[in-house]
Chains A and B, each alone.
Chain A
Amino acid sequence: MTGSEPLVELEQVSLRYRYHWGLGGGRYNMALDKVSLSISRGEKLGLIGRNGAGKSSLMRVFAGILAPDAGKVLRHSENTLMLSLQVGFKPHLTGRENALLSGLYQGISRREVEALMPAICEYSELGEQFDQPINTYSMGMRSRLGIATAIHCNPELLILDEVFAVGDRVFKQKSRHTLIEKIQSDNAVILASHDNRLIEQLCDRVAWLDGGQLRMLGAPADVVPQYEDYCQQLEDQQQAK
């Protein structure tokens, strides 16, 4: 479902990270180079590209976490969220307290999180351990609590770095199913993934990033095959070496 009303528009956005700072000046890594891209209400935008192409930086600019060095960001909604697992988790707090804090960080009000608490507890399948400090949890249990909190956030623009699935086999299936349902809802979604089939299946448009630049933007049927050909060429070149 694609609307024409833009939610966030990026115009000629550039962003660099400082990786060294000292006498003699700083050294920087250019993460985004004059990228123009927008997302409309209800649209599903896929992001593809190799590791280090700039996908995470672009998602953080869309989410309002980072301000660019140059270019413009026109934000028509502040209700955007980059979904993160276990954000703000504190080991000495209980599952319930961490769910509250994490929900607050991810844009839900205190009253809303408190109202959602029974649903979060049930989804996480933690039972009585929900009220115990999470430093007594296994990694899988922490991940379950993280995803149970994250999937209850309902922003206008949801940004996902991979459709992560966590926990044991049964919980993995359940969390993946929930996330795909969330992507297919009325909200706008930006989905970065290395699963090209999933991108083709779920997205209305795809942006291919390469070296911090927008290499191609269009329908999945046009962009994904070109990207796969490019990856194949790179693989062939490496094998030839």
Chain B
Amino acid sequence: MSRHRELSRFASILYYQSVSELKQEIAKKYLGFIWWFLDPVLYMGVFYLLFATGLRGGSSGADFVWFLFCGLVPWKWFASSMENGSRAISGNASLISQVYFPKIILPATVFVAQTFKFLIVLGVLLLALLLAGRLQLQAVPLLLGLLLLNALLNVSVAALAAAVVPFVPDLKQVISYSTIFLFFLSGIFFSIDSLSPEAAAWLQYNPMLTLISAYRHVLLGMPMPASSSMIIVLVETGVLASLTALVYHRYDRIFPRLVV
């Protein structure tokens, strides 16, 4: 069996598994695929009501809402990839004990499905920014680069989470709590510039804090994070991606024994 044929087969598995995951989500809903659009609109609508209309008590203003959206949207992509990814191998025990295929396909499937939904949300956000006259079209090439870096980070984190849970199932809970913890440390509600130098020195190692600041630079024209912080994100992503490749190379045929 040629290598090319095998790779093409694995790519087909990834594609059809991802389609299946998305179909499963809408299969039992009355409004079906409309939820893919409705969900982000409602999600952002809740924050709009809370922060822009004064419902929260003391309006924070429309500017804060855009600031918030540009943090929440990439955060949701990262968090859902990591949380759902952590169950990708342990939740497919029966499948992986019946046939061989590279296990990286399982978290990659989760990532593809989450990315599909993220791109819809991003589309809604970009459209809203465009209608509000805030979108800077010259920033689009930088946005693509940022999305690629964020995608590599997300798929690596999802795959590593999927790989460690079969070894220590308790980590599923730890990952869940870590997501909540990271939510408050990723600058969704605050700007990186508002941090004390001590806090900023520590938090620059959180890649999502830097990436969210970079998204705000691209979409809202806010200051770009320091180049040293961007280099840290690049190095961290590279290390995580290499570690993912190593772990899956080493344990690909071990996972079925751990999840029986």
- Residues in chain A within 8 A of chain B (CB atoms): 15, 17-18, 21, 60, 63-67, 78-79, 81-82, 84, 87-88, 90, 92-93, 97, 100-101, 104-110, 133
Contact = CB atoms under 8 A, between A and B. Distances in A.
Interface in B1-53: 1, 5-6, 8-9, 12-13, 16-17, 20, 23-24, 27
Contacts of B98: 65, 82, 84, 87, 105
B64 interface: no
B257 A66 contact: yes
Interface of B: 1, 5-6, 8-9, 12-13, 16-17, 20, 23-24, 27, 95-101, 168-169, 252-254, 256-258, 260
12 contacts: A15-B257, A60-B97, A65-B99, A65-B256, A67-B254, A90-B20, A92-B23, A101-B17, A105-B95, A105-B101, A106-B99, A108-B9
A116 to B, nearest CB: 14
Contacts of B5: 109
Nearest to B20: A90
B68 to A, nearest CB: 35
A152 to B, nearest CB: 15
Contacts of A90: 20, 23-24
A64 B9 contact: no
Contacts of B257: 15, 17-18, 66
Contacts of B17: 101
From B8, B17, B99, residue with most partner A Cβ within 10 Å: B99
B164 to A, nearest CB: 13
B27 A92 contact: yes
Nearest to A135: B27
Contacts of B12: 104, 109-110
A104 B9 contact: yes
A100 B19 CA distance: 13
B99 to A, nearest CB: 5
Given A78-B1, A92-B27, A93-B20, A87 B99 contact: yes
A101 B96 CA distance: 14
Interface of chain B, helix or strand or loop or mixed?
helix
B163 to A, nearest CB: 15
A106 B95 CA distance: 11
A227 B98 CA distance: 28
Contact of B95 (A15, A17, A87): A87
A103 to B, nearest CB: 10
B99 A93 contact: no
Nearest to B6: A78
Nearest to A93: B20
A3 B228 CA distance: 63
Nearest to B3: A78
A152 B95 CA distance: 19
Contacts of B27: 92, 133
A67 B101 CA distance: 13
Contacts of B6: 78
A63 B100 contact: yes
B147 to A, nearest CB: 28
A159 to B, nearest CB: 11
A202 B257 CA distance: 31
A66 B256 contact: yes
Given A60-B256, A67-B252, A108-B9, 19 more contacts: A18-B257, A18-B258, A21-B168, A65-B97, A65-B98, A65-B100, A78-B6, A79-B1, A81-B99, A87-B98, A87-B99, A88-B99, A90-B23, A92-B24, A100-B16, A101-B20, A105-B98, A109-B5, A109-B8
Contacts of B254: 66-67
Nearest to B250: A67
B148 to A, nearest CB: 27
A104 B18 CA distance: 14
A64 B12 CA distance: 20
Nearest to A113: B12
B253 A110 contact: no
A104 B13 contact: yes
Given A60-B256, A92-B23, A101 B99 contact: no
Given A79-B1, A101-B16, A110-B8, A88 B253 contact: no
A15 B98 CA distance: 17
Nearest to A73: B253
